[in-house]
Amino acid sequence: MALELKPLKIGKYTLPIPIFQGGMGVGISWDRLAGSVSKTGAMGIISCVGTGYYKNSAFIQKTIKHRPFDTINFYSKESLFEIFKNARKICGQNPLGANILYAINEYGRVVRDACEAGANMIITGAGLPTNMPEFTNNFPNVALIPIVSSAKALKILCKRWEGRYKRIPDAVIVEGPLSGGHQGVSYEDCFKKEHQLEAIVPQVVEEAKKWGDMPIIAAGGIWDRDDIDRIMALGASGVQMGTRFLGARECDATYYNELMPKIKKEDIELIKSPVGYPARAIVTGVIKALREGRAPKIACVSNCVAPCHRGQEAKKVGYCIADGLGDGYLGDKENGLYFTGANGYRIDKIVSVQEIIDELTRK
């Protein structure tokens, strides 16, 4: 039996629908997707990754062969402001979030940019954001939401935040290894029972109780209302979904609408990434090119993530993540990098955000 989906209170905000659309970069969840999700009363999240690509790089100072040059242009403040402005035209003053990976270069600056651009919540994964509150001092109403993959990670984070900043997260996202994009655990651990979402949610719920009133939002492999009900019964107060929205008409990276209905289960794999964590992607575009020995040369134009050390890791894994995701956004089918969750093959038709939300909220 379907449980009632209750509104979700996070910091100063109340979401009528406790569903987050996960941040997806480059350019998958920008103004159109995030704005359309927030308009429904669910939570739209703008990805801050690769904003320099927005509108053919119209808002940045310098490109090299159509690629945003260096960190300042790749994570462009001016473009992010435009994205927020245009998303607000769709969702008005409903809460809008910003997703910022901890592993990026200039993390603190981008968090500040997002607050100034009007983000109501900041969501950070890909690393444990132990100093996140430092960058939001001037924005006391902005809710801070880290993504963790274990109760241990939440404990370390809360200890640090409470000790240093006298605050705890406003909510926490717990992400299991069926999710799209980067994973929080090693390749081998992604397959172990003890790291699956059903195993980690109750542990994170228990840990959170020790620190105060912190809603838990579960992510990774959630597809339909049965999945939502199952995970809520384990103590989650909300869910975050990414892959499902790759089949939304409002998806900002339009090639996904063409690609997703065509892929099969065996086209989805965990691959190595220059970020240092495994990532789930579709074996097409640059990953296929890599396997066939024709991947593009790595030049590190955009200087995107710290763990890559200016292209050193990219050279080891054989592709540049910024270039791959950027090309994916631009619709370059040969060189694009396309992330998806394990459920990606289940998208059989493209529908509107409202239709997805209606299906998920129907009792």
Ligand X SMILES: Cc1cc2nc3c(=O)[nH]c(=O)nc-3n(C[C@H](O)[C@H](O)[C@H](O)COP(=O)(O)O)c2cc1C
Residues that bind ligand X (CB under 6 A): 22-25, 28, 47, 49, 99, 101, 125, 147, 175, 178-181, 219-222, 240-244, 339-341, 343
**Whether the Cβ atoms of residue 170 and residue 122 lie closer than 8 Å to each other:** no
Least distance (Å) between residue 329 CB and ligand X: 10
Calculate ∠ Cα 232-233-239, nearest 5°.
Answer: 10
93: exposed, middle or buried (C-beta count within 10 Å: 0-12, 13-18, 19+)?
A: exposed
Please list, residue by residue across 150-189, b when 16 or more beta carbons sit within 10 angstroms of its beta carbon and e when fewer do: bbebbbebbebbeeebeebbbbbbbbbbbbbbbbbbeeee
Nearer to ligand X, 104 or 300 (CB): 104
Nearer to ligand X, 51 or 99 (CB): 99
Nearer to ligand X, 129 or 341 (CB): 341
Instruction: Cite the DSSP H helix spans in the chain.
Output: 31-40, 54-57, 70-74, 77-91, 107-117, 151-165, 197-209, 225-232, 255-259, 285-291, 312-317, 321-330, 353-361
- What is the rounded CA–CA span in Å between residue 123 and residue 170? 10
Q: Which of 202, 181, 255, 152 is nearest to 24 (CA)?
A: 181
5: exposed, middle or buried (C-beta count within 10 Å: 0-12, 13-18, 19+)?
A: buried
Q: In what order do the strands lie in the sheet with 279-282?
A: 181-182, 279-282, 268-271
Least distance (Å) between residue 162 CB and ligand X: 24
- What is the rounded CA–CA span in Å between residue 306 and residue 311? 10
Nearer to ligand X, 94 or 149 (CB): 149
- What is the rounded CA–CA span in Å between residue 51 and residue 36? 19
Least distance (Å) between residue 86 CB and ligand X: 19
Least distance (Å) between residue 99 CB and ligand X: 5
Nearer to ligand X, 147 or 360 (CB): 147
Token pair for residue 343? 């459920």
Least distance (Å) between residue 201 CB and ligand X: 14
Least distance (Å) between residue 199 CB and ligand X: 16
Least distance (Å) between residue 362 CB and ligand X: 19
Q: Which of 308, 272, 276, 297 is nearest to 287 (CA)?
A: 272
What is the rounded end-to-end Cα distance, in angstroms, of the chain? Answer: 9
Token pair for residue 52? 């320099």
Nearer to ligand X, 15 or 178 (CB): 178
Nearer to ligand X, 120 or 340 (CB): 340
Least distance (Å) between residue 293 CB and ligand X: 25
Least distance (Å) between residue 172 CB and ligand X: 13
Nearer to ligand X, 47 or 94 (CB): 47
Nearer to ligand X, 99 or 273 (CB): 99
- What is the rounded CA–CA span in Å between residue 170 and residue 156? 16
